[in-house]
Amino acid sequence: MKLLRFGPAGFERPGLLDDDGFIRDLGSVVSDIQASTLSRAGLDMLRSVVPSSLPRADDSVRLGPPVADVRHFIAVGLNYTDHAIETDTPIPDQPVIFSKAPSCIVGPHDDVQMPPACTTLDWEAEVAVVIGEHAFELAEEEALSAVAGYMICHDVSDRDSQIHRGGQWIKGKSSPSFGPLGPWLVTADEILDPQTLNLWLTVNGVVRQSGSTAKMIFPFTHLISYISKFMALEPGDVITTGTPHGVGLGMKPPVFLKPGDVVELGADGLGRQRQNVVLRQPRTVGV
């Protein structure tokens, strides 16, 4: 299944994409695509629904992030050898784990809002995994049993805040709109081997990234098992698994996003995203 959420930001409805590419409204079946929906039992129930029996949504409707109420947005850094090399960073011997604030999550086609003082806005195409079952101290051979599905993540990054402002990378990874997800969550049964997915990204039509999850340093099984040794993963948690080479920081000289740029990205079987980069307006006192 391809599960999604559609409608105005903050008022999304649950839906699914049928075999003909039409959006079907799941609002009469579940209240949202959230923790209870993503369990094995919840997904089995949704598979019993006949898509043609559901109301069809307008084709032009806005798509929101596919999962509601994400509590943990966990990210993996430097998980492709070629990306570590292009950023002059040692290849890690253990996964580099950091967080993105869930408040940065937006829909797959929403604008990327560039902070007014930012001059180092960068792109990162990634494949994210969504947890569907409680997972703590999992062995690698158990790891994929906890997965509800996969989706595209654009790990938008302010490199100056990430690298030069001290402390953790979360500073450069969490501004509002820095986490476009979707367009849909593809359930795990439709992805026969997540380690064979090609992913790509273009800026203004120019290919910047082209890679494959086959080249990940730490595969999905290892990442989920490893992270579950340090925290209990819960349904609805999102883990985005790193980006291949081709980021702006790695170019000689570096090239960064600016207002007016258009970023498109996609992955095999997971759909595609498109965002316009806009300058975020400074906040007014009291707003």
The per-residue pLDDT for 109 is 98
CATH domain 68-279 topology: Fumarylacetoacetate hydrolase; domain 2 (3.90.850)
Tokens coding 170 = 């979360």
Paired strand residues for 112? 277
Q: Which helix (H) or strand (E) holds 82?
A: helix 81-86
Q: What share of the chain is helix, strand, coil (3-state, %, to 5)?
A: 20, 30, 45
Whether the CB-CB separation of 282 and 116 falls below 8 Å is answered with: yes
pTM, two decimal places: 0.96
| Residue 106 amino acid letter | V
Beta strands (DSSP E) in the chain are 2-6, 13-17, 23-25, 73-77, 96-99, 105-106, 112-114, 121-122, 125-131, 147-154, 157-158, 179-180, 185-187, 198-203, 206-212, 238-240, 262-267, 271-279
The per-residue pLDDT for 284 is 62
The per-residue pLDDT for 65 is 98
Q: Give residue-wise pLDDT tens across range 156-202.
A: 999 999 999 888 899 999 999 999 999 999 999 999 999 999 999 99
Cis peptide before 253 (omega within 30 of 0): yes
Domain boundaries, the chain: 68-279
Per-residue pLDDT of the chain (287 residues; tens, 9 = 90+): 999 999 999 999 999 999 999 999 999 999 999 999 999 999 999 999 999 999 999 999 999 999 999 999 999 999 998 888 888 888 899 999 999 999 999 999 999 999 999 999 999 999 999 999 999 999 999 999 999 999 999 999 999 999 998 888 999 999 999 999 999 999 999 999 999 999 999 999 999 999 999 999 999 999 999 999 999 999 999 999 999 999 999 999 999 999 999 999 999 999 999 999 999 987 766 55
